[in-house]
Structure 1
Amino acid sequence: GAESPAARMREKFVTHVYSFAGDLRTVWSEDEARTPGEAAAAGADPAGEDLARSLAALSADGDSTRLGDAVLASLEDFRLRDDLLAGVVVLSDGRQTSGFRSPREAGEVARTFLPRGSLGERGVPVVAVTAGDPTSARNVRVRNLVAPEVVLAKDDASFEFDVLASGFDGEQGVLRLMFVEPKAENALLVPGAITLRGGDAGQRVKARFRFDHPGTFRVRVGVPPLAGERITEDNWVEHQVRVVDRKVKVLYVDGRPRREWESLQRALTRDADTMLVHTLQLESAAGVPQPRTEAPGWGPLPGNRFPASRAELFAYDVVVLGDADWRRFADTEAEAEERVKDLRDFVEAGGGLLCVSGEFFMPLEYRRGPLAEALPVIVDADEVARTPGRLARSFNLSLTPEGRESDLMRIDEDPERSRDLWQTMERWRQWWYFPVRRAATGARVLAVHPEGVEEARTGRAGPHANRHGPHPLVAVKPFGLGRTLWIGSDEMWRMRYGVGDQYYYAFYAKAIRYLAAYRLLGGNRRVKILPERQTWFLDEPVSLVAHAVGEDYRPVSPAEKPSVRAILTLPDRTEQAIELLPAAGAEGEAPLGLYRGSFTAALEGTYSVAPDPSEVPGEEPESRSFTVETSAEERKDPSVDEEAMRALATASGGHLLPLEDLRKAPDLLRSREYRIPVEARPDPLAEQWWVPVLLTLLLAAEWLLAAPRTPCGVRAGSGGAGLPAGTRPERPGRIPAGSVERRPVGGPLEE
């Protein structure tokens, strides 16, 4: 109507209307709506009616908001038009979910904006009008899910995520797992329910679920909507997990008999349900049978020796390396060193390595060899000499903050009880450990010496810490595609006192599964292709990576394999071929065996990627699935980000208004005019006496030459029209006497 904010704006300004989500789009322009010479009916406003229809057709269904970018795009549009701009009025909730420039940055650009040609005033004020729910809605939001990509059938899968609850403080929320694909009966997550807590930080929830059957499952994890929630899409996060029903192949190598060897080999070989284990004690008597898993098809360790070829070694998923002399890996020292190199490559190619320290060889004799860079710790013999008094008292492990949150260190269903068992159980106190210098770059320390914590806190010198901090006792590190776990003590067997393998094997079983994760994704495939992320969004490039090895399980070079061919299966079940090329290194040199490729997803749903059958002759191509979805950020929080809108307005020199005061926006803006700078300079000719004399002579000559030479009377012309005597015809282009020519200046501005 005539009193609407849009009508009041049009009374004062030539108005242009834009909409924006991902990009700026023109909704209505007064320049285009006006038709020159159009005779409208009395009282009719066709342009206004057209604007009303355009505004009514708008809907808030975008997948993202680029508020800062949209303001800058509107400014640039007017710079290209070469039009003056009185101001920008922005209606938004202020929640920017994507884009390159923040609202504050856009406001700063608007303050210094200058039209093309520099003929206008500098700066364009922004009136930011907050539209949306100004209060926090009753809403439960689930985010930041951490979950495994692969688990063993009949093994617990852990799910950790944040729950942010607004308006439900103290109420109960159910933890549920929903099967999206393939469909199955939904289930409760243990512990079943939580008490919701308010606040911006939310609460970290740890739950678990046991998958009984193998397969690839796309699931949704979260809290079902509660009464009063308007936004329900953010109650869930999706995840894809692969459940495999195969046993982990383990090789356990140690040196001499010791209590840790006896306890660990017995626990590992007993677990015939989830593991196939070979053990090798290098210093045992010749011909003595080596313990192994008793299972059909699982024979003795070939030759009762360390694997003599890469193919034999790479057949395992995890190697447990105790206090073993690496020189005994082969008949000669040169061959033994090659076996250590093979073990390093085994980890880099995706295998797992568990190192259990000892007094003689692990880790001291491995600190300078090929395996050193795969270890989670930096070993220094001087640290051993510096700390002779470190074994004077027994100790419990002290979990680091990261260790307290790690599922690897959780040996009881109750996290608090698990922490107490590690740190306070008297019967678990240990005496011996190996003092390393520090954790390696990229390693995560899960447990340290408790007295070292106090020494590091007070800064006093002691046998359990150094300038790098307390001595690490449990640390993990990714290396290449694989993982390494280091245990600095050989007395974990004390965890068996009175309870057998209840806690002892709970720890080691989790450790084995953690280290075998990459191998469980697809066995010992020579070509593996996987997405770099599990979830992607529409219209963004999806990055794929491939790892390729030759028949000897060594990474291939670009010369040997110029590319890797992959088959992509889309949600509509159509297939698309993708070629992955060698990845460029830091200096243009490609890392061996690494290939990359990408594509832009245009369909929402579940995709899968696998090597082309020609890449893995004689094998079934192993596929990996991932999801592509529409960003739901726009619908996750209906509240207004008033701070962002205030920053936009303030930085531009504009104003912040609530939606109900939108009618005031035209009064906060003023019309702009072109200002053409004129600079007065003195003219040196004006000071000369002869200049006016010369001008007078020129004017007199022009008058004499133009005087009429006909006699009095009427002069007839061929045109049949005459003029009174003494007059002359007007020259074409001359303005008749007494007339005034008016010319518009500055476009729509009127004189």
Structure 2
Amino acid sequence: MEFMPTIRFAGDLPGGVVLAMALAAAFAVMWYYARETRTMASPYSYLLPALRAAAVALVIFILAGPVWHRRQEIGTLGKVTFAIDTSASMSITDSTGSDASESRIRRATRLLVGTPEHPGLVDQLSETHDIEVIGFGAAAAVPLWSNRDEETLETALQLIAEDRRTNLASAVSAATVDLDVSGVQKQHDAIGNKPANNASDPANASEAENDTEPNRVRSAIVIMSEGRHNLGPSPVDAARRIGSSATQVMTLGMGSEAEPVDVGVSQVIRPDSVAADGRLSGKIILKQFGMTGKPLGMRIEHQNKTVWQHTVTPDTEGEIEVPYDFEVAPLVEATQQASVRGVSRDAVALDLRVVVDGAAASDSFVNDSGSAGNIMAENDSMPFRVAASIRDRRLLVLDGSSRWETRYLRNLFERDPAWRVDAVLYGPGTDIPNVTRGNQTGQFPPDAEAISQYDAIILGEVPPEQFKHADAALLRQFVSRGGGLIVVDGRYQRVRKLVETFLSDLIPVNYSGVDATIDGGKIVPTVTGGEQPMMLLRQSDNTDLSNVADMWSRLPQAQYVNQVEPQAGAEVWANTVQAGGKPTPWLVTRLFGAGRVFYFSSDQSWRWRYKLADELHARFWNQVLSAVMQPPYSASDSFVSLGTDRVEYAVGDSSLIRVRLQGPTGKPLGDATVDALLVTDDRVVATVALSVDDPSRGTYQGETQPLETGEYEVRIRASGFDSTALQATTPIWVGTPDHAELRRVGLDENAMKQIAQAGKGAYFHESSADQLLEQLKPLSSGSIIESDVLVWQSFYWFWVVIALLTAEWLLRKRAGLV
């Protein structure tokens, strides 16, 4: 196959610059020449200047060095795609590598580009194969170069390994079968034109069969990586799908299997919010290799001051969990001192940082090149943020009896100075046999304004006969606007009747079976639930419990649970499991509008207090309330209150911005045009138009576009207000460093071999790249012939110029100018 010839430029000056010079000179010549011919008849008046200008332009264009390039493919070419991993783990220099001064990604590009002494893989295949180079990391693979491009390979592969995740499946999925149909047809024609006696020859017949084999492998993808997959679907499954086509999956392992000596922070687990006078608890996932038995110091900093520190001596390599717990009141006080006058804050964003002091010990590691240095300095610390709520939160408890669960929950939060609790217990056997609706203590909230004063509602077994459709509508409105609802089921089937009559769309379960309840069992978090900070139940820093599931298995069992099934879209965070029995949902959750609903199929958590009092019970329920509620408005001034759903986001997330606006008299304004401004370095980088949420309350909300990495300040602009009047602002952070990519960076040969085996290919180490080359060569049965004609040095260009000048002279003579 011959492709359409192309023009390339080999001159010292860029082709565009020379073209501009040639056109400018041509117009100048035409303008000057036209003074002599403008009185002449057509076509002499314009043809003579045009011929002279064209000749001048061609002479000047020689400076660009035009080259006529031709590419011809003979036979059927095999296609080879080299996929280079650009994740952060490829920036590692291996102590056991052949050249420890080079990173993995530099060695990978050198294998492709080659050296003056040894040609690269691309050079050795470029005359017989169709070659493409792609890069992959966290996102979809992107093309970098192909041998059809005019750009040089070395220029195209100036890569930086910085992606925070590795998605090997994206590289595998980028492989495509690109057979040259015309080339295959030529082979078929050639086979068909062979003499009959040749076709009967077994050797020739075998060759013909192979050439016409429709599934013959004609392409391959070579994945150049250390094999640590931590994002997206399984690369083995993707390779298996590709391997079933006419494409092989080859893998080239980069680096050493030995983990480099390093210590760092892999992850910080913490709640999104905490009470301003409470304690911040969570855990740090610390990884270390080569530091076993050595003390490692850790600390958490706030405004460059240490607020927590701990020393741990690991006894095994890998990851260990280090719990932390400290007061946040001093941190809130220090943060508020920097607040703008006239701005009050209901929540303060605490900007914290974990630092591993022991990381300095790994700095003494000396690699094979004889150089010392921190192998992965970037994971020695990790920033994280938590919102500390200053405003007292309000909780409404609705139940039909003072059962043990309700009694303990009510007492728990009434004792907490950060909470205001209103309990409405009504129904037969209580002090309020028949519920009344109003704004007084012990009354059911009568309208949306009254119920909106609460941050969360605990709904128990209220009498269904005293529950109205208006009450259900209030609960839906409350949750959809950001409120938190916790449903605690019991043994009297009252919640079941509410679900079947009023709240089937709000409470995220359906009841199964005729029996209301069955025997309970151990509470076991699901995989999804085990990842939630709400489910952490650590007792102290020196606990010997190794994981969340082990902690939950030690809790007193639920005596009974209601038989339920999660509705579509709901998540089960924990089950109760009898010995050898079927798991039954214990904790089910779902988002509803801007709020969240938790459903508990049993009211037995009060049993956790046995011998432990509030140690586990109080901790868990405080975390439940923090998880179910929306953060409060974080900042307010005389006219506007402003809040976001979180203070920290991942790249690509959207932020929900909530605003309450009021006039000088304090009256809510529900008819203004309100925008949220995202500002960084005193520059507005995004504007979000907010829509009216509730005109009577003057509330607005809106959602940003997917956010990019950075630290932003959210400000508000509203019609009718001067820019200096709305002073309330709140910070958000996007793209906090995630060190999951650096948890393990040693070559995973087993994973690379599995991918290659699934893709019907083979695995090679970077030190055996020559063997890979021998596997790739048979993919092609054709060749590429490329030729260049230096047009600016050829006689064709000279004769065109001479022809233009000769034609001009003949026309001048005919016109009587000679």
TM-score range, shorter chain: 0.5 to 0.7
How far the C-alpha of 1:489 sits from its partner, in A, is 5.5
**Equivalent pair of 1:223/1:236 in contact (CA under 8 Å):** yes
How far the C-alpha of 1:316 sits from its partner, in A, is 0.7
- Secondary structure at the counterpart of residue 240 of structure 1: strand
Q: Structure 1, unaligned stretches of length 5 or more?
A: 34-50, 114-122, 291-299, 459-467, 552-559, 584-592, 677-744
Partner amino acid, structure 1, of 2:258: T
**Equivalent pair of 2:172/2:238 in contact (CA under 8 Å):** no
* Cα RMSD after superposing both structures: 6.0
**Equivalent pair of 2:488/2:603 in contact (CA under 8 Å):** yes
What is the correspondence of 1:675-714 to structure 2 with a 5 Å cutoff? none
Aligned: 1:188 with 2:308: yes
Q: Which residue of 2 aligns with 1:239?
A: 384
TM-score by length of 2: 0.54
Instruction: Name the stretch that deviates more: 132-141 or 560-569.
Output: 560-569
**Equivalent pair of 1:350/1:518 in contact (CA under 8 Å):** no
Q: Which of 685, 705, 708 in structure 2 is aligned with 1:598? A: 705
Instruction: Name the stretch that deviates more: 244-253 or 359-368.
Output: 359-368
Aligned: 1:217 with 2:353: no
Cα distance in 1, alignment partners of residues 173 and 702 from structure 2 = 39
Cα distance in 2, alignment partners of residues 673 and 510 from structure 1 = 62
How far the C-alpha of 1:310 sits from its partner, in A, is 0.8
CA offsets 1:699-742 (integer angstroms, 9 cap, x no match): xxxxxxxxxxxxxxxxxxxxxxxxxxxxxxxxxxxxxxxxxxxx
- Secondary structure at the counterpart of residue 6 of structure 1: coil
Q: Which residue of 1 aligns with 2:678?
A: 568
Aligned: 1:399 with 2:510: no
Cα distance in 1, alignment partners of residues 653 and 413 from structure 2 = 40
- Secondary structure at the counterpart of residue 132 of structure 1: coil
- Secondary structure at the counterpart of residue 562 of structure 2: coil
Q: Which of 558, 562, 566 in structure 2 is aligned with 1:436? A: 562
Number of positions where the alignment pairs a residue of Structure 1 with one of Structure 2: 577
**Equivalent pair of 1:63/1:633 in contact (CA under 8 Å):** no
Q: Which residue of 2 aligns with 1:116?
A: none
Partner amino acid, structure 2, of 1:252: V
How far the C-alpha of 1:19 sits from its partner, in A, is 8.5
Q: Which residue of 2 aligns with 1:339?
A: 471
Q: Which residue of 2 aligns with 1:305?
A: 443
TM-score by length of 1: 0.58
Aligned: 1:349 with 2:473: no
Q: Which residue of 1 aligns with 2:453?
A: 315
What is the correspondence of 1:488-503 to structure 2 with a 5 Å cutoff? none
Cα distance in 2, alignment partners of residues 108 and 623 from structure 1 = 48
Q: Which residue of 2 aligns with 1:512?
A: 625
**Equivalent pair of 2:523/2:552 in contact (CA under 8 Å):** yes
How far the C-alpha of 1:365 sits from its partner, in A, is 4.2
Aligned: 1:151 with 2:274: yes
**Equivalent pair of 1:606/1:626 in contact (CA under 8 Å):** yes
CA offsets 1:411-443 (integer angstroms, 9 cap, x no match): 733766899998779xx898xx66522243325
**Equivalent pair of 1:216/1:240 in contact (CA under 8 Å):** yes
Q: Which residue of 2 aligns with 1:535?
A: 650
Cα distance in 2, alignment partners of residues 643 and 317 from structure 1 = 51
Cα distance in 2, alignment partners of residues 423 and 72 from structure 1 = 41
- Secondary structure at the counterpart of residue 654 of structure 2: strand
Partner amino acid, structure 2, of 1:308: P
Q: Which residue of 2 aligns with 1:720?
A: none
Structure-2 change in CA distance of 1:582 and 1:9 (3 Å): same
**Equivalent pair of 1:269/1:277 in contact (CA under 8 Å):** yes
What is the correspondence of 1:660-679 to structure 2 with a 5 Å cutoff? 660=767
Aligned: 1:368 with 2:500: yes
**Equivalent pair of 1:376/1:476 in contact (CA under 8 Å):** yes
Q: Which residue of 1 aligns with 2:578?
A: 453
Structure-2 change in CA distance of 1:599 and 1:636 (3 Å): same
How far the C-alpha of 1:137 sits from its partner, in A, is 1.6
**Equivalent pair of 1:481/1:518 in contact (CA under 8 Å):** no
Q: Which of 176, 185, 198 in structure 1 is aligned with 2:317? A: 198
Structure-2 change in CA distance of 1:195 and 1:439 (3 Å): farther
Structure-2 change in CA distance of 1:146 and 1:372 (3 Å): farther
Cα distance in 1, alignment partners of residues 479 and 127 from structure 2 = 68
Structure-2 change in CA distance of 1:4 and 1:625 (3 Å): same
How far the C-alpha of 1:509 sits from its partner, in A, is 3.8
Q: Which residue of 2 aligns with 1:640?
A: 747
**Equivalent pair of 1:613/1:620 in contact (CA under 8 Å):** no
**Equivalent pair of 1:606/1:625 in contact (CA under 8 Å):** yes
Cα distance in 1, alignment partners of residues 729 and 266 from structure 2 = 30
Cα distance in 2, alignment partners of residues 68 and 360 from structure 1 = 51
**Equivalent pair of 1:62/1:634 in contact (CA under 8 Å):** no
Q: Which residue of 2 aligns with 1:734?
A: none
Identical amino acids, percent of aligned pairs: 18
**Equivalent pair of 1:571/1:606 in contact (CA under 8 Å):** no
Cα distance in 1, alignment partners of residues 127 and 389 from structure 2 = 66
Instruction: Name the stretch that deviates more: 170-179 or 611-620.
Output: 611-620
Cα distance in 2, alignment partners of residues 107 and 398 from structure 1 = 40
How far the C-alpha of 1:340 sits from its partner, in A, is 2.8
Larger RCO (CA within 8 A; separation ≥ 6): 2
Q: Which residue of 1 aligns with 2:712?
A: 607
Q: Which residue of 2 aligns with 1:482?
A: 595
Cα distance in 1, alignment partners of residues 244 and 560 from structure 2 = 63
How far the C-alpha of 1:482 sits from its partner, in A, is 3.1
Q: Structure 2, unaligned stretches of length 5 or more?
A: 1-113, 184-217, 333-347, 366-373, 663-669, 694-699, 789-818
Aligned: 1:177 with 2:300: yes
